[in-house]
Chains A and B, each alone.
Chain A
């Protein structure tokens, strides 16, 4: 089973998120970088599939040279090969991103391409679907349970508290969500191997798209200032009164 996993380098956000003074980017002076969470699970899922069925996990990212750090993180988790589609620092839209990935898929040949359901930062929700259309492959999105065999894939996701199931022939594109697995911690040998591994590089062509960012901003605070109802169990009568006021008591 030859699997390609597409990951994205995104800032680590913990307690706050801020925008640079020109309003064009997230201020990353105080943050680190990580693989977007859904995609970390995609790497883990791919490694588990090849542990069972054999084959190779290739990991791909589209980004600047610095994104090699995230490729090495994926190699440490068990991916065997890494590809950087190198950008010139400009933000790629989903159409150009899908086109660049499609070119890599065509040049090598894969049975399965896994992506995150949406990137943590841009949240465009469409790269996987556009990629599938370019390749002429079936696609399922938002998957939280995946069973792959030589004959095809059975993919499940949540729908209004129920589970819906999709059956796909291979090759296919599948986008996954966090919760499909709990990613392993990288082993020490894995990390050492990742540090030495070769990364294949090719340039990614940027093109303008119809959705053009003007500015980013932090939403105005909702204007909430917590009313302290009290301390400990003494606050309970007041809490019950408030719940009643808000109309949620039976």
Chain B
């Protein structure tokens, strides 16, 4: 018995979200088989997270990202590996590939799981996100093979206690033309910069920023902390900032070490996006703002004074320009 886990790569290493999925896969108590498309197998890292087998699908078999083709390969591997579950990170790609796999096999799929335990033959008990994690659903997934995506902002990646060597299997894919009809053409623009989803520090700005011109200090602060700026939904609805900076249920879900929320009240749709932050620091004039109740630390004050003062203090810590 084994649980297959789709592993997305971030450069040469497994994406953090995929390591979280591998961690949840271990809780099934079976072996864990990682499935990778292209590249080389990062065997040491995978072994450290308890992966026992790695299935490398040759790049020549599927050029680039083709969701239906990836799902077709997984469908073939289920039988070959004797899989009782297939997992993927709850990313755009993870959700999409597993949805295709569900459609190809006729199996049900549970999205954004936070817990999974075997529940007798052919069934699992799962806990999964609804409302982007504002609610938890306890459910029974009855299926010969459980298809699960993993809520990447709610499950921490944890190394295995007893890593074993990874057996690598190289596979070629048998695909139909229709499997390759929809292919991603990746554009290099924008790649390489810190992304909102993976940044270690996010400086958030909300209605309290006041308008489109108020974000320069937040950008500067984010730069000093090696992070990026994220914003609340009202900021994007007003057109102050582009939607790709939105943190929330309908934007990006973030998992930074520190989320510094400036002038953000903490509407529930925003909380759905930032609940995965390890630490939240709120800067807000209103001690009764919901974000303050969700924060670890709070500064009660106007961000228009606090942020420039913080920037000054951080600059003073650094060796000054010659």
Contacts and interface: CB of A to CB of B under 8 A. Distances in A.
A15 B267 CA distance: 5
A139 to B, nearest CB: 7
A39 B238 CA distance: 19
Contacts of A157: 92
Nearest to A127: B99
A121 interface: yes
B115 to A, nearest CB: 12
Given A126-B111, A248-B200, A163 B296 contact: no
A15 B142 CA distance: 35
A160 B191 contact: yes
A212 interface: yes
Contacts, number: 268
B267 A14 contact: yes
B44 interface: no
B159 interface: no
Contacts of B67: 141
Contact of A123 (B131, B182, B183, B244): B131
A232 B135 contact: no
Contacts of B136: 216-219
Contacts of A219: 133-136
Nearest to B188: A162
A80 to B, nearest CB: 26
Contacts of A37: 249-250
B108 A93 contact: yes
B132 A129 contact: no
A233 B305 contact: yes
A201 interface: no
A33 interface: no
Interface string B129-145: 11111111111111100
B322 interface: no
Interface string A100-141: 000000000000000000101111111011101110101111
Interface string B272-303: 00010001111000010010111111111110
Contact of B237 (A129, A158, A182, A227): A182
Contact of B239 (A182, A217, A224): A182
A235 B226 CA distance: 22
Given A163-B187, A224-B295, A140 B182 contact: yes
Question: Main SS of the interface on chain A?
Answer: mixed
B130 A162 contact: no
Contact of A129 (B100, B138, B139, B190): B100
A164 B187 CA distance: 6
A161 B182 contact: no
B51 interface: no
A126 B246 CA distance: 23
A250 B226 contact: yes
A247 to B, nearest CB: 7
A217 B111 CA distance: 17
B114 to A, nearest CB: 9
A33 to B, nearest CB: 14
A138 B182 contact: yes
Given A246-B279, A249-B225, A17 B268 contact: yes
Contacts of A120: 131-132, 249-250
Contacts of A123: 111-112, 129-132
A165 B282 CA distance: 37
Contacts of A16: 268
A211 B244 CA distance: 32
A14 B313 CA distance: 36
A169 B181 CA distance: 9
B306 A212 contact: no
Interface of B: 10, 65, 67, 90, 92-93, 95-96, 98-100, 102-104, 107-112, 126, 129-143, 149, 178, 181-198, 200-201, 224-227, 236-237, 239, 242-244, 246, 249-251, 257-258, 267-269, 275, 279-282, 287, 290, 292-302, 305-306, 309-310, 313-314, 317-318
Interface of A: 13-17, 19, 26, 37-38, 93-95, 118, 120-126, 128-130, 132-134, 136, 138-142, 144, 157-169, 177-179, 182, 209-219, 222, 224, 226-233, 235-237, 239-240, 242-243, 246-250
7 contacts: A124-B111, A129-B103, A134-B103, A179-B251, A211-B108, A212-B142, A240-B314
